[in-house]
Structures are given as structure tokens and as C-alpha cells.
Amino acid sequence: MNFTGQTALVTGASTGIGTVFAERLAEQGAHLILVARSADRLHALADRLRAAHGIRADVVALDLSTPGAGERLVAHVADLGRTVDILINNAGFATHGDVADADPARLQAQIQLNCAAVVDLTTRFLPAMTARGRGAVVNVASTAAFQPVAHMAVYSASKAFVLAFTEALWSETRPTGVKVIAICPGATETPFFEVVGAEEASFGRRRTPEQVVATTLRGLANGCPSIVDGRTNATVATLQRFLPHRAVLGIAERTVRPRA
């Protein structure tokens, strides 16, 4: 795809995969709208990418897990006089532990950010893309989307939602000229696990954000509805379909079981 002169809105842009999405798109001539809670990190990133690539980069410091955040973001974009050509729904977080022991408000915020914000922003920015006959929506799912994961029940369910929503959206938008893809990373070397607060939530060798973004852009160019990052991750995601379901649940539970 040719990103030159297009505008990409990237959520969760202050760290990890979101930052690398911003960097790669800026390298290819895209202008940016960077969204996350951390204004300082966003401004530092925006300054660096403007200086390196001569692109326009605007910052919107916003917590997308709060009610009405999508509407406020759309208003910010309008005030900036910007049109969104590429939407990267990357913001999200996980919790680790049993539902019976969880903070209900924390789980609600997780659902709001991982699921509701993805749908909200997509439905707000997609109509203009389809009207123009071009654009792209990238939703960050996870290899956790392929099976329920005990001790990370809400996270795995939220990513299963993102995957199903995105693949259905891919079918809906095929005649419109808008490209849609869900990227499913496995464990990735980002601050994600610092937020989770449990190293046992990480399974397998961690890949880099650069690898995840490269996989995404390749899949987007090839018209894939979804793509798993990494050969090992893709193999595991495929093999679980052929195992007894109870066995899959047991393996997933043991993999991320909280340490005593």
C-alpha cells in the first residue's frame, strides 16, 4: 500500500506496538494522529517523527476506556481539520488472575478499551473511508483470541471479540476499497506485561514490535482478514483446532496459571 500523504490515527501510540506502527507509517510518508493517555510520551514521539520524516504529527492525550471517549476523539480530529485514512486500533490491556478475585471496575475498563472502543472508533471513521473508496482499519487482537484462557478470561474473550468483529468487517468492506485486518501477536517485548503485573502471563519466546508491525503491513497488502505474527504462534493457533476442546482449555490454564 502507498501511505504517502495519508493520515493514520494510532491508538496506544505511546509505547510498544503502537509506537512502531507510528514509526513505520511515518517512514512511508504518512501523517499521524497519536492517541494515548501519556501526553509527554506522545509529544516526544511526535517531535521525533516530524524531525525525521517531515510529516505532520498531532497528539491527542485521551483515555479511551472512559465513557464518551470516542466522541471526544472525533471532535478533536475535526478541530485539527484532519481526515483519517488509516485507523490503527492498538490500545488495550490485560489483567491476570481469577474472575472471582478481580476488581469489577478494572474488568469493565478492560472490556471498554479492548472491545467497545474498537467498535466505536471503527464505526465513527469507517463511513468516510468507504465513501472515498479507500482506507484501512487495523485491529490488534492476540493469539489469546483462538482459545479461552483461564486466569485471563476477560482478556482472551475480548480478543476473540476483536478477531471475530474484524473478520466480519473484512467481509463487509471487500467491495468498498477499504482494507481491514486483525493482527494476532503472541507474547511481544513491550510494556504490556508490566501492566499485567505477572510474568507468567507471557508464554513462549517474545517477538519484537517491529516484527509484529512488519507482519501486519504484509498481511494488509495481501488482503488478509487476519494474520498471526510468527511461525510458531501461527502453528500453535492452528494445532489447537485439532485437539479436544477440554485439552485446549487445560493447556491454556496451565500455561498462565498464577504462581504460588
Burial class of residue 82 (count of CB atoms within 10 Å of its CB; 0-12, 13-18, 19+): middle
Question: Contact, 83 vs 131, CB < 8 A?
Answer: no
183 φ, ψ (degrees, to nearest 5): -100, 135
Pick the catalytic residue: 3, 155, 161, 170?
A: 155
Distance CA 182, CA 196 (A): 22
Q: How do 31-36 and 7-11 pair as beta strands?
A: parallel
- Residue 57's beta-bridge partner residues? 32
Q: Is 29 a catalytic residue?
A: no
SS3 179: strand
Q: How far apart are CA 153 and CA 114, in angstroms?
A: 13
C-alpha 144/C-alpha 135 separation (Å) is 27
Active site residues: 155
